[in-house]
Chains A and B, each alone.
Chain A
Amino acid sequence: MVDQDESFMLDGNAMAGVLHELFEVEMTVADVECATCGRHGEVGSLWAFIETPGYVLRCPACQSVVLRMSVTPGEYYLDARGAVYLCVPRKV
């Protein structure tokens, strides 16, 4: 069971800017597979919770945390334990 306030929920699109900073490509269309339930879909289709100290992306099918990210003045921390893979477009 997950207890979360859905009024604070956005889509993965809301993290487009900060993900672009890290990967330098448009990441909302990057494919990601949920390690909990196996759903795959674009990062933009995940549920985003960004009113938190870090950013949390959850699977819309099983609500598990797929990606977590936090940004400090000097680094990006990306916790991708909830994903089987994250398919990042090659830079061309």
Chain B
Amino acid sequence: MAIELPRAVTRRRILEWQICTVVKVKQETNTVKTFTLEVPKWVPHQAGQHYDVRLTAPDGYQAQRSYSIASGPEQKGVIELTIERLVEGEVSTYLHDVLIVGDQVELRGPIGGYFVWEAAMGGPLLLVAGGSGIVPLMAMLRHRQASGSQVPARLLYSSRTYEDIIYRAELDQLHHDGSGMEVIHTLTRGRPLGWNSYHRRIDLQMLEEVIRPLGNGLIAYVCGPTALVEGVANGLVVLGIAAERVRTERFGPTGVT
């Protein structure tokens, strides 16, 4: 059975570019920052949707990228975009190195109806993230918490090192909030002393252990680099999860230009 999607997605809406103001910048890890942006014509989004960001140079050259929304729809008037600084990224390097509180950028959104989860869609929920692929899944977890949902949920989150774990403190807190949500980390490049969770790339055995408590009726959202997404999506099908219940979002090197 496929996942039932909310009907609101068929509503007609012209997507306008809006000038938004940076109201907060938070350094999450060495290479990741969260930008809080005030959106003048803010509308509630669905967890998992994204905004397009457009930069215009003085000579008229434009570059555009899509970034997942990190905040839940319950946080009104603003959105949070958590963005990794890519060494070759023409937009992310500008956002990281130049953008400060008070600056303005052009945004349009929210966009996307495929990779979304709302509490009403139920669960059990399996979230699998690699690196900054955590961002749209974090919106789902924040929405789950803010809406009081008790849907059983497990997040399997693969990071390079302990220091690369984005939202580490908040994930610890969600793990212990008693709502039936569990976070399982895996580290692929080194681990701190006393680390007692996984420390390898996600494989079939790990997936099997993580999904076991959720049962075959789970719905899965997988976001990260292409290789991780392919491996996890195929692995879940091998483990008996119907392909229609597995939604993926791959990270490319860049977005639409």
Q: Is the CB of A13 within 8 A of B253?
A: no
Contacts of B226 in A (CB 8 A): 6-7, 9
Known: A9-B226, A11-B250, A89-B9. A50 touches B256 (CB 8 A): yes
Contacts of A17 in B (CB 8 A): 15, 52, 64, 66, 108-109, 111, 256
Q: Is the CB of A42 within 8 A of B114?
A: yes
Name A27's closest neighbour in chain B (CB-CB): B113
Tell me the count of chain B residues lying within 8 A, CB to CB, of chain A: 33
Inter-chain CA distance A5–B46, complex, in Å, is: 31
Contacts of B115 in A (CB 8 A): 11, 13, 28, 44
Contacts of B256 in A (CB 8 A): 14-15, 17-18, 50, 55
Inter-chain CA distance A44–B247, complex, in Å, is: 9
Inter-chain CA distance A15–B111, complex, in Å, is: 10
Known: A7-B226, A7-B253, A11-B248. A16 touches B9 (CB 8 A): no
Known: A7-B253, A14-B256. A24 touches B111 (CB 8 A): no
Tell me the count of chain A residues lying within 8 A, CB to CB, of chain B: 32
Inter-chain CA distance A54–B181, complex, in Å, is: 42
Contacts of A8 in B (CB 8 A): 252-253
Q: Is the CB of A16 within 8 A of B250?
A: no
Inter-chain CA distance A16–B45, complex, in Å, is: 14
Q: Is the CB of A16 within 8 A of B112?
A: yes
Report A26-62 CB contacts with B as 1/0, cut-off 8 Å.
1011000000000001111100001100010000000
Contacts of B250 in A (CB 8 A): 9-11
Inter-chain CA distance A18–B111, complex, in Å, is: 10
Contacts of B12 in A (CB 8 A): 24-25, 91-92
Q: Is the CB of A28 within 8 A of B252?
A: no
Inter-chain CA distance A28–B114, complex, in Å, is: 6
How many Å from the CB of B14 to the closest CB on chain A? Answer: 6
Known: A7-B226, A24-B12. A45 touches B252 (CB 8 A): no
Contacts of A55 in B (CB 8 A): 256
Name A55's closest neighbour in chain B (CB-CB): B256
Report B139-173 CB contacts with A as 1/0, cut-off 8 Å.
00000000000000000000000000000000000
Q: Is the CB of A21 within 8 A of B15?
A: yes
Name B255's closest neighbour in chain A (CB-CB): A14
Tell me if A12 is interfacial: C-beta within 8 Å of chain B: yes
Report B101-130 CB contacts with A as 1/0, cut-off 8 Å.
000000011011111000000000000000
Pick the contact of A50 from B113, B251, B252 — CB < 8 Å? Answer: B252
Q: Is the CB of A29 within 8 A of B253?
A: no
Contacts of B28 in A (CB 8 A): none
Contacts of A81 in B (CB 8 A): none
Inter-chain CA distance A90–B10, complex, in Å, is: 7
**What are 11 A-B contacts defined by CB distance under 8 Å?**
A8-B253, A10-B250, A11-B249, A13-B115, A17-B256, A21-B15, A43-B114, A44-B113, A50-B256, A51-B254, A92-B10
Point out residues on B near A: beta carbons under 8 Å: 5, 9-15, 50, 52, 64, 66, 108-109, 111-115, 226, 230, 244, 247-257
